[in-house]
Amino acid sequence: MACDLTKGRTVPCKDVVGGINKVTFINYGDMGDIAFSNDAISDISGTFTAYVYEVKGNSSFEQSFNSSRENGTTFFTQTLNLTLPKLSKEDNKELKLMAYGRPHVVVQDYNGNAFMMGLNYGAEVTGGTIVTGAAMGDLSGYTLVLEAQEQLPANFIDGATVADPFETCTGNITLDLN
């Protein structure tokens, strides 16, 4: 049967940390052909610009399983919570465009992993704030919540590096770090 388990799992070493350090946004549908190997993305062959956002602190990425015995369905909800300090008119414009669109999102963690969120259907901004706090030490910036619903968990990207999540991909990919 296609849904039979194929292996067990031992308790792993305690050599990882939580947190994400970068998210990269790609306009929906711009990636071209995507190849897979062992359920991971092994190549992206399109020509596109990827917009890199560095994050630190309160940002997180979570995936939840949604399965219904009655309906015979399973899907995965991918949720990205971002905190982006400092307000600017340029960021207002970009975040408005992000809210209007449904980008693909690469989430990079502190362990060197890169995950593709919203691979098939894109990710939607479902909420957030533009905030200037009450006290001197409060956030003056943005909070965003993006959500994607996919048939599979977010795929790992093989060959991703801290500097470039698309390091081994053959596409003509421009990283925009502005």
Residue 132 has what pLDDT? 95
Identify the band that residue 2 occupies on the pLDDT scale cut at 50, 70 and 90: confident
Model pTM score = 0.92
Average pLDDT over residues 36-46: 94
R_g of the chain, CA atoms, integer Å: 17
Residue 142 has what pLDDT? 97
Query: Could you give the CA distance from residue 67 to residue 15 in angstroms, rounded to a whole number?
Result: 31
What percent of the chain has pLDDT above 90? Answer: 88
- The alpha helices in 49-136, defined as continuous H runs, are 89-100
Query: Could you give the CA distance from residue 5 to residue 22 in angstroms, rounded to a whole number?
Result: 33
120-131, pLDDT tens digit by residue? 999 999 999 999
Average pLDDT over residues 4-9: 86
The Cβ of residue 21 has, within 10 Å, a number of other Cβ atoms equal to 15
Q: Is the pLDDT of residue 141 over 80?
A: yes
- pLDDT, the chain, mean: 95
Query: Could you give the CA distance from residue 9 to residue 97 in angstroms, rounded to a whole number?
Result: 42
Identify the band that residue 1 occupies on the pLDDT scale cut at 50, 70 and 90: low
Angle at the Cα of 41 from the Cα atoms of 38 and 44, rounded to 5 degrees:
145
Side by side, which strands form the sheet with 47-54? 155-156, 114-117, 104-109, 20-26, 47-54, 172-176
Residue 71 has what pLDDT? 95
**Residue 148: in which H helix or E strand, if any?**
strand 140-150
52-109, pLDDT tens digit by residue? 999 998 999 999 999 999 999 999 999 999 999 999 999 999 999 999 999 999 999 9
Query: Could you give the CA distance from residue 148 to residue 61 in angstroms, rounded to a whole number?
Result: 11
